[in-house]
Structure 1
Amino acid sequence: MVAAAVHSILAWEPESEADLQFFQNIPWCAEIIKMPGVRAYRGDYPPRRERGMDPVIHGFNYRRPKRRYLTSKVTVFREEGILRYGSFLAEPGVLPTHDVNQSEGLPSGKSVSTPSQREPRSAVTASQGEYPIHIDIFTLGQALYGFPRTIHGGILCLLADGICGKTAFLHRNPVNQMYTAYTNTRFIKPMIIGQDGTITIMMKTQISRVRTTEGKIVVITRFEGPGGLVYATAESMVMEKIWKGRL
C-alpha cells in the first residue's frame, strides 16, 4: 500500500442529504457524526450506483415469490431493505481505536486526543492509531429480519464483508488488485428491530494491521447501537496483489 491519502473519494459530501438529516436527528448518531474531524463522503467504487455504497451490497439480491413459477428480484436498497445509508470518515485521533476481540462498547462521541490535522495515511507508513476510522450508518427495514424480529445473521456477514472490503479498497495501492481471503463475524447481542419495524446501526471500521511483504491487510469492524452497544464484531483479511491479467 502507498503512503498517500484515502483514494477514490468522489466528493466530501453525503450520499443523501435526506439520509444525513435523518441520522443527525438521532441523538446517539449525531453525537458522533457532528464531531469535528468527522466528514461525510461519497466514494467512487466500480461500479458506482445511484446511491453509492459498495458493489458487494448492490450485488446482493433476495428473491421474493410472486407466482408459483415466477420470482421478482429486489435489491436490498429497496422494498424495506436498507432504507437509509451514510458513510463518514473520522480523522485519526477523533475516535478511540478498537480491538475486534473486545465485547464492550467504545465510548460514544468521546474524543481521546486532539483531532489530527494530517490527511489520512495509508497502511504502509501508519500505525493503527494513525488510521482513520470509517463510519457507516444503516437503517434496516422489515425485509431483513426473521423470527423473533431479529436481523438475519447473514445480513451482518454481508455488511461486514462489504464494508471491510470497501475500507481496504479506499487505502489500496491503485495499481494493485484486491480480493477478500476471509471475513469472520462474531455475534454478541441480537439485533432486534424497533416497534416501527426498523433499526439503525453504526459500523466503525479500521485497518488493524498490514503485512506488506505478503500483501495481507487485516480490517476490523464493529456493529454498534445506542450508547456504544456492540451487536457484533468482524475481522477480514484482504489480499493486495498485482496480476498480469484481470480477475
Structure 2
Amino acid sequence: MKEDTEESSHMSTADFMETFLDTHSPPSESIQHFKSVAWLNTLVSSPKYKVIPTFSRHLKSSGEDYFFSRTVNTEHTIPHMVSLQLRDFVTPEPDANQNAPTTTDHRTPTVAPEHPDAITMLALSGPGLNGHPETLHGGVTCAILDETMGLLIMLHDNNVRGKGPRDSLYTANLNVTYRAPVPAPGDIMVKTWLVKRQGRKWYSKGQIVDQQGTVLAEADGLWVTTKRQKL
C-alpha cells in the first residue's frame, strides 16, 4: 500500500532530485493497483511515460512532507499514489511562451496538452477525506493540486538547474476552480503541465480528471524559486 517512507537526509545536495529518483522506487503494490484499473493502466503502461517515485510520499529527516507521507498515506485516506513523468520532458526557455495565459476561464475547462508533462494517479478512500458524503473535501482537492503541481515544478527545476545547493520552491499563488464533486472512494488522475517561466517564477496548470475525462477541478498557480541555500 504505502510508498517506501524511510527518511532521507541527502535532500540538500546539488543533485538531490537525481539522487532521490535513483535511490527510491515507486511502490509495486500501488503500481499493481492502477494496472488493475483499465483506464489508468493505459497510462502506467504507456511508452510515453515513466513511473517515478513520488517525492512527497517520503518523509525527510527535517519533517518535510509529513502530510503526504504519513497523514494521508493510510488505508482510509490515500492508500495509493503513483507519479508519471513524460519521457520527452522539455523545460521551456525563460523567454518562451511569454504570452501564454496563466489564468483559468471559469466558464469552461482548459484544454490540456495531449501528453501533459507529469501525471499523478491517486486512489481515494472514504470517508477519511470526505466533506460531503462520498465527496472529497474541497481543501483536500486543493492540497492534491498544490502537491502535484509542486512536483511538476521540482522536476522542471531539476531539469535546468546547475551545480549548487538545493533550490527552495514555494507556492506563491494557487487559484482553484471546482467544476464537479470529486468522488471518494474512487480513483482519479491529475494532469500537470508547465505554462511558462520568468526568472525565478514558474507558472503551471493542473487538472483532476475522472474516468470519463471530466475535469472535476483545475488550478493555475505560480511557484517561486528562492535563492539557493543549504537547508
CA contact (8 A) 2:54 2:82 kept: no
Superposed counterparts of 1:1-247, under 5 Å: 7-8=17-18, 9-11=20-22, 14-43=25-54, 48-49=58-59, 55-56=64-65, 58-59=66-67, 75-92=71-88, 101=105, 103=109, 133-142=117-126, 143-172=128-157, 173=161, 175=165, 176-193=167-184, 198-212=185-199, 215-242=200-227
For 1:139, give the aligned amino acid: A
For 2:31, give the aligned amino acid: L
Instruction: Please report how far the alpha carbon of residue 59 of structure 1 lies from its aligned counterpart in structure 2 after TM superposition.
Output: 2.6
Partner of 1:67: none
CA shift digits 1:2-46 (9 cap, x unpaired): xxxx9435239852111101101111101222111211112556x
Q: Which stretches in structure 2 are left out of the alignment for 5+ residues?
A: 1-15, 90-101
CA shift digits 1:140-163 (9 cap, x unpaired): 111011223211000011111112
What TM-score results when the alignment is normalised by the length of structure 2?
0.70
For 2:35, give the aligned amino acid: Q
User: Partner of 1:151: helix, strand, or coil?
Assistant: coil
Considering fraction of residues, name the structure with more strand.
1
- The two structures, once aligned, show a CA RMSD in angstroms of 3.4
Once residues 155 and 43 of structure 1 are traced to their aligned partners in structure 2, the CA distance between those partners, rounded to angstroms, is 17
What TM-score results when the alignment is normalised by the length of structure 1?
0.66
Instruction: Please report how far the alpha carbon of residue 184 of structure 1 lies from its aligned counterpart in structure 2 after TM superposition.
Output: 1.2
Distance 1:44 1:27, change over 3 A: closer
CA contact (8 A) 1:189 1:231 kept: yes
For 1:49, give the aligned amino acid: L
Q: Which stretches in structure 1 are left out of the alignment for 5+ residues?
A: 1-5, 62-73, 94-98, 112-131
For 1:28, give the aligned amino acid: W
Distance 1:36 1:26, change over 3 A: same
Instruction: Please identify the structure whose Cα radius of gyration is greater.
Output: 1
User: Partner of 2:39: helix, strand, or coil?
Assistant: helix
CA contact (8 A) 2:54 2:81 kept: no
